[in-house]
């Protein structure tokens, strides 16, 4: 009695070639992931919390004016962009908001560079003069649990050939 196993790869060759092409250029998937992350970050601004769901410390301006923390003019929130390449996506602030993006993400202290004090109008409209201002960290950039699941689904869809 003969026992023989025959493997025919010809029907799978086209699929494997397509899979290899998709693996070598993930740009469409990375672009989709970038849009997903930008949307998620903007939603975090609207909800007032970090990507991991931790609520931001309310700003004095938001408390006095009844607004939202980190959403005064909306420049930081609307300045979040993504840029995709064949093997990665970068997501972060751009434009005019770039100059103050890091202090909100990481927190820190602002001190005068050449003057003896900082001068500005407070949230109540009154003139303020201080030696320093402490900004608490309010992380807005990052990847949350839901984002990780959606990223995985996006990559699986793309690699499986169900992208458009």
- Look up the pTM and report it: 0.81
Asked if 101 and 13 touch (Cβ cutoff 8 Å), the reply is: no
Which structure tokens are listed for 89?
């996506």
Cα 42 to chain centroid distance, Å, stands at: 8
Contacts of 69 (CB under 8 A, 6+ apart): 48, 56, 57, 58, 59, 61, 62, 138
Instruction: Give the pLDDT band of residue 66 (cuts 50, 70, 90).
Output: confident
Which pLDDT score, from 0 to 100, does residue 162 have? 61
In this predicted structure, the answer to whether residue 163 has a pLDDT above a threshold of 60 is no
Which structure tokens are listed for 57?
């410390």
The residue ranking higher by pLDDT, 152 or 96, is: 152
Q: What value does the mean pLDDT take over residues 136-161?
A: 93
Burial readout 128-144 (b: 16 or more C-beta within 10 A, e: otherwise): eeeeeeeeeebbbbebb
pLDDT digits (tens, 9 = 90+) for 15-53: 778 888 888 899 999 999 999 999 999 999 999 999 999
Instruction: Give the pLDDT band of residue 141 (cuts 50, 70, 90).
Output: very high
Which pLDDT score, from 0 to 100, does residue 70 have? 92
pLDDT digits (tens, 9 = 90+) for 77-133: 999 999 999 999 999 999 888 888 999 999 999 998 998 999 888 777 889 899 999
* DSSP symbols for 56-98: PPPPHHHHHHT-BTTBSSSHHHHTEEEEE-SS-EEEEE-GGGH
Which pLDDT score, from 0 to 100, does residue 69 have? 92
3-state secondary structure of 6: coil
Which pLDDT score, from 0 to 100, does residue 93 have? 94
- Domain residue ranges of the chain, discontinuous segments joined by +: 10-106+138-159
């Amino acid at each position: 009695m003969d026992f023989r196993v025959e493997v025919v790869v010809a029907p799978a060759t086209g699929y494997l070639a397509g899979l290899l092409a998709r693996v070598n250029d993930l740009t469409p998937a990375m672009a989709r992931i970038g849009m997903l992350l930008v949307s998620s970050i903007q939603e975090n601004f609207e909800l007032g919390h970090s990507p991991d769901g931790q609520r931001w410390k309310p700003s004095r301006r938001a408390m006095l004016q009844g607004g939202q923390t980190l959403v005064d003019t909306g420049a930081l929130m609307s300045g979040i962009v993504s840029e995709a390449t064949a093997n990665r996506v970068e997501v972060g602030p751009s434009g005019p908001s770039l100059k103050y993006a890091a202090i909100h993400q990481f927190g820190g202290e602002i001190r005068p560079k050449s003057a003896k004090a900082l001068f500005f109008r407070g949230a109540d409209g009154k003139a303020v003069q201080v030696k320093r201002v402490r900004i608490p960290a309010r992380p807005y950039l990052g990847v949350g649990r839901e984002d990780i699941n959606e990223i995985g689904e996006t990559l699986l869809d793309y690699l499986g050939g169900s992208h458009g």
